[in-house]
Structure 1
């Protein structure tokens, strides 16, 4: 930072690692500064922000607001690939948002986490040493923690990421009354290669329905629970990667599944029917439903235990 007439002026851009700069919108508009730093590429992480110098630099734009509920993790793989390609050929890149504090910082931290296989805390500290004013919002920090838990691989094949997407869809429903996107669990009857220790089957026709990774864990009792993707639960305990169900409950609460009618069409509630014999298994509702133990589950994809068999496999 520099001082001018008693005021502290924050740098518009700072070099974090060799060839990678983080900055504000002022940095993106300062052509002279960009040229002096030999910038060749600009990654814009801001909402509806048009390039200022499209003839002078190669741009990539991610349109996203600086809000905790925004899904920024979905962009980490393509941003990482873009940054890696630039740096691998000796290019120099500016990553910017509006203030150069939240969105651009989150993308930069994600890149460094993946490149150096670092935790969120270590990567964040590394960036802060070069640009102290960075401050990703709380939702972005949660998603960066999730990124670490996912092993830096953003894929709907991973249960934790599906739970994040389900949680994101539930928040969208609360705000707008509609479902934006659904991350449905893989149908174990179709995807035969799934590693399975516990299988839930229709009691009438024995068709495979869900595995242990599709089941939502909750403790019996009053209160409310939602799909959780965070590393720690409300009690501070580590959230397991397999999700055992409380045996005292008369229902299983599961993820939305590929075979459920209406899930991919955005229906807000519907019956859950066995896709083979059409036996009624339960119901789902994005507004939630109450378990027999008193817990309110949001969203609720509820399968009655007396309609299915649970099989443990070696």
Structure 2
């Protein structure tokens, strides 16, 4: 652990690769954190006995480096911006690092400067290896490489990674919200929902299922199922959130038993493929009722964009995005027995 290569902070205003000084530090046994220049320098790689290279950048390493013998590479395409999805790559990156070190190899993790993206990945690895929170893992890595600084988005994702037990838990409320925001951003950029996020658009809860959800919500006017318990998005009431923030407390919604609006009558639901009713005000129970009085139609007009890229403000004052709001007085709760009786 005492072994260390001289660190030179890059201070040039040019972004040409040739102007980068070699910068690399030993963070943990067999784990180095450095910049692009280090990954390009064959002598440095030989001196450190590097066997594996993990690249976190917008472009992979050139073929002249990838063709070198006795080196194993992994590439993750990632920009150094807060909205990038880092957390989804952490498990696979950690597996790569663990396998390399387990095989008695030495790994270089790098991005362009070795400050934000690669540092975030290394912090995620240290968090999992030593069961540390973000703050402690950051302090440990910073003690080895003084000028690291993951951007604010990566910091939030690393904290979420720790909250989920250093793994991806798709049922975690915070992770659900994170993925919904990611999907909305991608949709704005490319005008189509990527297949990666297809599971976020939930199936119509009104369709007959072999195993009906134990708790559903029905429109009092048309009697159609508009949501199930699994569609409810728990969130902290705004006033409670303010009070907790004053005390420096930010617990996850899943642990705020009795404090979430979803448990106190306010219903915000995630995105569904179709809805028979939108319950949006005190004057109408359904916004899709035909003028001639026919039954409400399924909202075919709700395309992927407005299903994902939308938000609403809960009566508690907290804005939740993306979500639909169901007025409690316009829906009724139905348990599993009632659900089976009606849907069969």
Answer whether TM exceeds 0.5 for this pair. yes
TM-score (structure 1 length as normaliser): 0.73
Separation in 2 of the partners of 1:82 and 1:311? Answer: 47
Question: CA, structure 1 residues 288+58, in 2 after alignment: closer, same or farther (shift >3 Å)?
Answer: same
Structure 1 or 2, whichever has the larger Rg, is 2
Matched, 1:53 2:65: yes
Q: 1:288 aligns with which of 271, 291, 311?
A: 311
- 2:183 equivalent to 1:169: yes
2:166 aligns with: 152
1:299 paired to 2:322:
yes
**Within 5 Å, which residues of 2 pair with 1:30-179?**
30-51=41-62, 52-54=64-66, 55-56=68-69, 57-172=71-186, 179=193
Partner of 1:17: 28
Question: In 2, distance between residues paired with 1:39 and 1:191?
Answer: 54
Unaligned runs of 5+ in 1: 222-227, 262-270
Other-structure match for 2:253 = 240
Unpaired runs of 5+ residues, structure 2, are 12-19, 276-286, 290-294, 337-344
Deviation at 1:182, TM superposition (A): 5.3
Q: Which structure has greater strand proportion?
A: 1
Partner of 1:255: 270
Per-residue deviation, residues 191-224 of structure 1 (Å, max 9, x unmatched): 9699x7xx33325658583226732436479xxx
What number of residue pairs does the alignment pair up? Answer: 283
Give the Cα–Cα distance (whole angstroms) in 2 for the partners of residues 48 and 287 of structure 1: 33
Between Structure 1 and Structure 2, which shows a larger proportion of helix residues? 2
> Aligned pair in 2 of structure 1 residues 94, 256: CA closer, same or farther (>3 Å)?
same
Q: How many angstroms apart in 2 are the aligned matches of 1:156 and 1:190?
A: 22
Match of 2:333 in 1: 310
Q: Secondary structure at the match of 2:109?
A: strand
Q: Distance in 2 between matches of 1:173 and 1:140?
A: 21
Cα distance in 2 for residues equivalent to 1:177 and 1:234: 40
> Structure 2 length normalisation: TM-score?
0.68
The separation in 2 between residues aligned to 1:280 and 1:200, in whole angstroms, is 19
Farther-moved stretch of structure 1 (181-190 vs 166-175): 181-190
Backbone CA RMSD of aligned residues: 4.0
